[in-house]
C-alpha cells in the first residue's frame, strides 16, 4: 500500500504544469518540463497516487506532447469535452456539442465580425474562420492541423464537434457571451474563458469540474486534488477536495480560495506534491 493510494491529482497543462505563455504570445520556443515536476510526479505514482492532465487542448493537440508527462490515469481534454485513456487509446467519456450548435456558432460569428473562430471536430484538425496571428501561433504551439474556412455554412460544419473557440478582444468576447446568455443559449452550452482573449464553448456539463468528478468516480479514488491557473480551471478547483494554483494564475483564480504555490516555471506541481509528502 502506498501513502497516496486512492488519491487523484489533476493538473492543467499550459501555464500550470508547463509554461507556454511566451510561446503562444511571442512565438518563443517553449521551455522544457520542470525537473522538479517530473521527479515529484514519479514519486507520487510510485506511492500509489494517480496523476493526469486536465487541459483545454483538443486530444491531438495534447497527445503529441503526452510522452513528456508521466501519467497513470486517463486525461481530460477539450476543456471537459472528453475523458480519454491514452494507454487503451479509447474515450472513456465524450460530450459532443448538440446538433443545434453549428447554427448558433455561425450566427454569433457573423454578429461579432471582430472575433475569430476555431472549430474542433473529433479528428486531428482545426477549422479556423477569420484567422489571426494568434491562431497561427496557437497552431504552431499545439501542432494541430489547421484549415482555414472563408465562409461559415452550418450544414457544412465538421461533425461531431467537441468544442468551439472564439478568439478576440475581451470586451467583444464579453459582449458575445452576454448575447448568448440573453438568448437562453447557456441552457445548452458551457461558455468559459480560458484566457482573456479565448472563450471556450462546450456542451452543457462539459467542463473540467464535472469531468474531474466523473474521473474520480471512474477510478474509485477518495481524494481529488486539482491545480490550474485560469478561469476555465475554476470549475475543477471548486470540485476538488483540495485546490491549488501557481503564483502566475489570473486574479480570479488567485482569489478563489485555492492554495497558492510557486510560479509554474519553478515547478508548481512539484511543490504541491512536496507539501502532501510532508503532511504524510
pLDDT in tens, 38-94: 999 999 999 999 999 999 988 888 988 899 999 999 999 999 999 999 999 999 999
State yes or no: pLDDT of 271 exceeds 70.
yes
Average pLDDT, the chain: 92
pLDDT at res. 159: 86
What are the C-alpha distances in Å from 91 to residues 70, 83, 85? 19, 6, 6
**How much is the average pLDDT of 170-178?**
96
Mind listing the domains of the chain with CATH numbers? 7-95+206-279 (3.40.50.1000), 101-203 (3.30.1240.10)
Give the model confidence (pLDDT) of 108-165 as tens digits: 999 999 999 999 987 767 899 998 887 787 777 677 777 899 999 999 898 899 999 9
The pLDDT, as a whole number, for residue 245 is 98
Amino acid at each position: 500500500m502506498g501513502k497516496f493510494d486512492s488519491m487523484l491529482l489533476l493538473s492543467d497543462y499550459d501555464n500550470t504544469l508547463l509554461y507556454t505563455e511566451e510561446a503562444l504570445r511571442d512565438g518563443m520556443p517553449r521551455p522544457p518540463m520542470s525537473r522538479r515536476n517530473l521527479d515529484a510526479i514519479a514519486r507520487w505514482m510510485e506511492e500509489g497516487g494517480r496523476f493526469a492532465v486536465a487541459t483545454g487542448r483538443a486530444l491531438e493537440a495534447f497527445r503529441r506532447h503526452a510522452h513528456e508527462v508521466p501519467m497513470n490515469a486517463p486525461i481530460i481534454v477539450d476543456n471537459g469535452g472528453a475523458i480519454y485513456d491514452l494507454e487503451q487509446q479509447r474515450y472513456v467519456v465524450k460530450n459532443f456539442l448538440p446538433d443545434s450548435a453549428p447554427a448558433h456558432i455561425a450566427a454569433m460569428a457573423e454578429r461579432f465580425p471582430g472575433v475569430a473562430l476555431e472549430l474542433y471536430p473529433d479528428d486531428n484538425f482545426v477549422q479556423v474562420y477569420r484567422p489571426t496571428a494568434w491562431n497561427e501561433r496557437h497552431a504552431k504551439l499545439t501542432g494541430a492541423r489547421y484549415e482555414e474556412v472563408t465562409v461559415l455554412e452550418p450544414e457544412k460544419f465538421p461533425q461531431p464537434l467537441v468544442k468551439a473557440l472564439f478568439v478576440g478582444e475581451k470586451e467583444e468576447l464579453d459582449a458575445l457571451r452576454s448575447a448568448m446568455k440573453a438568448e437562453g443559449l447557456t441552457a445548452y452550452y458551457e461558455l468559459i474563458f480560458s484566457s482573456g482573449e479565448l472563450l471556450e464553448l462546450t456542451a452543457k456539463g462539459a467542463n473540467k469540474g464535472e469531468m474531474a468528478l466523473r474521473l474520480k468516480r471512474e477510478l474509485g479514488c477518495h481524494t481529488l486534488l486539482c491545480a490550474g491557473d485560469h478561469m476555465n480551471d475554476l470549475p475543477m478547483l471548486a470540485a476538488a477536495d483540495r485546490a491549488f494554483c501557481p503564483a502566475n494564475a489570473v486574479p480570479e483564480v488567485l482569489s478563489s480560495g485555492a492554495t497558492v504555490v510557486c510560479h509554474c516555471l519553478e515547478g508548481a506541481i512539484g511543490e504541491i506534491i512536496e507539501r502532501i509528502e510532508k503532511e504524510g
